[in-house]
Amino acid sequence: MKSNLLLVLVFSVFTSTLFAAEGDTIRVQSHQETHWNWYGNWFDTTSFPTAGEYRRIIMYYTLGCPSGGCSEWDYTTKIEVEDPIDDSTSRWVELTRIITPYAGNKGSNWKFVYEIDVTDYAPILKGERRVRAHYSGYQDGFTVSIDFDFIEGTPPREVLEVTTLYDGTFRYGFANDPIENYLVPKDIAMHPELGSAKFRMVASGHSFGGNENCAEFCRKWYRLNINGNNAIQQDVWRDDCGSNPLEAQTGTWIYNRAGWCPGTETERYDNNISAFVAAGEVAEFDVDWQSYNYNGGAGFDPQYIIEATIFQYADWNFAVDAAISDVISPSKKDQYWDKNPVCNNPEIVVENTGSEVITYVKFEYWVEGSPEIIRHTHQGVIAPGRSKTIVLPAYDKWLFGEKTENKFHVQIVGVNNTDDQYEGNNHFVSTFDDTPVYPSEFIIGFNNNGGGSETKYRVEDERGNVVFERTNAVSNTNYLDTVNCEPGCYTMFIEDSDCDGLRFFANNDGNGRIWLHSANEGSFFPPLYQFEDEFGCDAQLSFTVGYKMGDEETMEYPTGVSEWNDGSNMVAYPNPSAGNVTIAIQGEIESGGELIIYNQMGQVIQRMQLVDLEEIQISGLAMGNYIAQYRTDSKFKTVKFTVAN
């Protein structure tokens, strides 16, 4: 079936590949292994493309350790680009703000790559510009490398203006010098060709120890008013720090914070403000911060680092356009390592890059070398300019069976029951690692800490059925739970209700662990797998039983049932069909069995008892891949077929 797909050029982008049918990907390098050894700024003169049209611009921020290892503290870092205003003045525009992890346990070979979309800054990323890498640390330190990929093609919409509304570090909670003195109303002229607009707030709170632990550990909101009308109210808060992929840091990494977590990019709060502004007119913008009175006692003055930006765009270039912007799994990206590897059910990010609301998206997906292309239609609303994470169903061995290379492909083939108007952003490829293979019977060795039933775990098959779970435990007690699995793909999920795992230096729960062991005699040690004890809120591990990824794709059948190998044949025609297909069995074969039709997700669509073996007409099937299986008590025969439309 793959021969029917359009051939496209492949361009490597770190561990993932993007298809840019209209041109190459241009790699631009800025800082390379820059050593941040103390507070300060490091500059690099970078040559960005001076011409061309780019559908996407991706920045790669690679954090590493110098020869003596990384810093044990969380420090603010910024990557900014200089934008000349006139011959004598310029502004610095922040592309990203990343707070370093507590990395005192990382060695000189450690690196972590952050992938950041900076397409909105296209008007600034042109020609020769100075790039500034700022490090706020008072300790040595980290290394940083900055690279950009300019992916040729038509952008969703042209960026007309990038306007900085506020930029700086502002004290918070001082009655004699309130933050409102700096977040003052500003008049911004809207471009005469304005089609839409977006407001972005990047705010990180710092300092603690005073009342309410502001501004690092207090949850406060800001409000954006446009022409006196309340357009946005947003809490500046991250409530997912304990699920940080950079787990087991040497500090309080699990604590939720104001707009950031140690080791992550500061949150971008993006909001569509098109309804509040008009082309060619002047709009007044004013940000208010939630009231707070500081009473003293913090390590330093509570403050917010703020970068507030207004993006003005021309009209959308397409009405109906969906883009695959990322693959979360299967993937080898550092940002998603905690969700990988997987053995089924890929997870992708889809963005609406057109002017119309999306309600249906049709996908095709496969793995390099596998003979099967799986099709799926997602139903759900995606507003223009918004993204959505989607899980693509893929069960049994259909997706990875007979793969020749660890490359996962996903492609959009239709949107809203019509053609997608731009194909350049429809195809994405990720590379991945295989999951481990475990025995059908294994033991979960759980040494609980003093947290009682905080820690729970379960094992699910690829359809979400729970095959084993533990929901209760006694403090400081050891458990050996035996799990039995039929051949298939499984994932073990661990959750901790207090988000402090089985080890964390700043609590009184003590230490625990979860290891997986073989149940085979004499094979208990070494363990099959050792979960990180300091996993924060959650951890997961996918694995297969009974086969390894890439084995020939066959349905798994009960023990004692084998395929007829007597020269008989089972056929389906026409194949592919338009929805009506005939199933026929040729040769001598036992009658009185059952015919079962499975869809591409392994679900039973139809089943019927056959008194004789005459041709069977099957109709009313939706587009997709199917398996027809005729079986008796001891034998089976199988044929695959496809409904194309």
Q: Transcribe 68-106 into DSSP letters.
A: T---SS--EEEEEEEEESSSS-EEEEEEEEEEPP--TT-
Q: What is the pLDDT of residue 21?
A: 42
Report the pLDDT value the prediction gives residue 245, as an integer from 0 to 100.
96
Question: Residue 514 in 3-state DSSP?
Answer: strand
User: Is residue 528 helix, strand or coil?
Assistant: coil
Q: Is residue 328 within 8 Å of 259, Cβ to Cβ?
A: no
Mean pLDDT, residues 86-111 taken together: 96
Give me the half-sphere count of Cα atoms (radius 13 Å) on the Cβ side of residue 558: 7
Is the pLDDT score of 1 beyond 60? no
> What pTM, to 2 d.p., does this model score?
0.83
Do 408 and 430 contact (CB within 8 A), yes or no? yes
* pLDDT over 90 (residue 609): no
User: What's the pLDDT band for 592 if we cut at 50, 70, 90?
Assistant: confident
**Would you state the pLDDT for residue 567?**
64
State mean pLDDT over 131-136. Answer: 98
Range in 246-260, 389-403, 543-557 with the lowest mean pLDDT: 543-557
pLDDT-based confidence at residue 603 (cuts at 50, 70, 90):
low
Asked if 269 contacts 200 with a C-beta cutoff of 8 angstroms, the reply is: yes
Q: From CA 190, how far away is CA 355, in angstroms rounded?
A: 20
Question: Three-class SS of residue 378?
Answer: strand
Q: Is the pLDDT reported for residue 566 higher than 70? A: no
Residues in the chain, how many? 645
Give the rounded distance of the alpha carbon of 401 from its chain centre. Answer: 24
Which residues in 383-508 belong to E strands, given as ranges?
387-391, 407-415, 427-431, 437-438, 441-447, 455-461, 466-470, 478-484, 488-496
pLDDT tens readout for residues 342-368 = 999 999 999 999 999 999 999 999 999
Exposure string (b/e) for 290-301, b if CB count within 10 Å is 16 or more? eebebeeebeeb
Residue 234 in this model has a pLDDT that exceeds 60: yes
What mean pLDDT do residues 95-112 have?
A: 97
Q: Is the dihedral of CA 445, 447, 451, 452 positive or negative?
A: positive
**For 509, how many CA atoms within 13 A lie in the half-sphere containing its CB?**
28
Gap between the Cα atoms of 381 and 383, Å rounded: 6
Tokens 């990322």 belong to: 326
In the prediction, which pLDDT does 644 show? 82
Q: For residues 538 and 590, what is the distance between their CA atoms, to the nearest angstrom?
A: 52
**401 and 383 Cβ atoms separated by less than 8 Å:** no
With CA atoms as reference, report the closest residue to 345 among 461, 430, 250, 447: 461
pLDDT per residue over 269-299, tens digit each?
999 999 999 999 999 999 999 999 999 999 9
Residue 256 burial (C-beta neighbours within 10 Å; 0-12, 13-18, 19+): middle
List of domains in the chain: 1-155 (2.60.120.230), 157-317 (2.60.120.230), 322-431 (2.60.40), 437-545 (2.60.60), 568-643 (2.60.40.10)
